Homo-oligomer: A and B are copies of this chain.
Amino acid sequence: MVSRANKLALWRLAVVLLAHFVALDGGVAVAAAKPCRSPSSASVDDAGCLSWRVMVEANNARGWRTVPAPCVGYVTSYMTLGQYKRDLNSVMDQIAAYVDIIDADADGLDAWVLDIDDTCLSNLLYYESKQFGAYDPSAFKMWASKGACPGIRPVLELYDTLQYKGFKVFLLSGRDQETLATCTSQNLESEGFSGYERLIMRSPEYRGQSSSMFKSAMRKRLVEEDGYRIRGNVGDQWSDLQGDFVGDRVFKIPNPMYYVP
């Protein structure tokens, strides 16, 4: 039994909740169309997808091939309605606090390693169009060839800060060098990522190797052969951040869209 006073309180609460939704989603239309899809909504289903997303970020969920079917709507909402941006900005704040307390030595050997896909450049439009389905190498190659991936602004700001402070920035990507080098460097350039020290992509000898092994080998070379000190390492995949010579500090950019081993 609900008293009259309680009923009124409930209605008032409903209005407050509704106001929250509208504020969060930036528009009534979106809120009305997808009431249960926002990661911030109270649906139990979403709470399960939230658990899954946190497991991905904590590297507890590994080797998954696609976003679980019940979470496709959740991931779309997460990426587009604000929470991804908030999460990303929070991580960038952590990186900024760390960058603030370190300096690049005059010898020019203090380096940062940044991943490209969904670290510097966003593939959200592509993965959304594929409904976060299984990896499709030729379709992805076609998408990447266009050189039209939007830059991820908060990462560009970090990139500029690092260069301003005298760090050498290495962009390290598992993309195929032979076929994607030109479009990738043009895409980076057009999105403001210019003046990096080196763009390192997957050469033919590393084809078929896991990203983790390939990137470990590249970092090993930077450190052991070239003498760089990797002061920071930023990527959206744990395979960017684990293995050998990962650097003094690693930062995981959120990405619930796909998993790269």
Q: Which residues of A contact B (CB under 8 A)?
A: 2, 6, 9-11, 13-18, 20-21, 23-24, 28, 31-32, 35-36, 38-44, 46-48, 50-55, 57-61, 82-83, 86-87, 89-91, 94, 250-252, 254
Among B23, B43, B51, B252, contact of A59 (Cβ-Cβ < 8 Å): B252
A36 surroundings in chain B (CB, below 8 A): 16, 20
A234 to chain B, nearest CB (A): 10
* A-side interface mostly: helix
Given A6-B28, A24-B42, verify A47-B17 contact (CB < 8 Å): no
In the bound assembly, the distance between CA atoms of A55 and B94 in angstroms comes to 9
Pair A54/B13 contact, Cβ less than 8 Å: no
Q: Which 5 A-B pairs have the closest CB atoms?
A: A14-B14, A20-B42, A51-B90, A57-B58, A40-B42
A86 surroundings in chain B (CB, below 8 A): 47-48, 50-51
A245 to chain B, nearest CB (A): 15
Q: Closest chain B residue to A18 by CB distance?
A: B14
Q: Closest chain B residue to A24 by CB distance?
A: B42
Pair B87/A51 contact, Cβ less than 8 Å: yes
Q: Closest chain B residue to A251 by CB distance?
A: B60
Pair B48/A20 contact, Cβ less than 8 Å: no
A254 to chain B, nearest CB (A): 7
Q: Closest chain B residue to A40 by CB distance?
A: B42
Q: Closest chain B residue to A86 by CB distance?
A: B51
A61 surroundings in chain B (CB, below 8 A): 94
A254 surroundings in chain B (CB, below 8 A): 54, 58
Q: Closest chain B residue to A7 by CB distance?
A: B28
Pair B46/A40 contact, Cβ less than 8 Å: yes
A44 surroundings in chain B (CB, below 8 A): 20, 23-24
Pair B43/A20 contact, Cβ less than 8 Å: yes
A83 surroundings in chain B (CB, below 8 A): 47, 50-51
A20 surroundings in chain B (CB, below 8 A): 36, 41-44
Pair A47/B58 contact, Cβ less than 8 Å: no
A59 surroundings in chain B (CB, below 8 A): 58, 250, 252
Given A42-B17, A47-B82, verify A54-B55 contact (CB < 8 Å): no
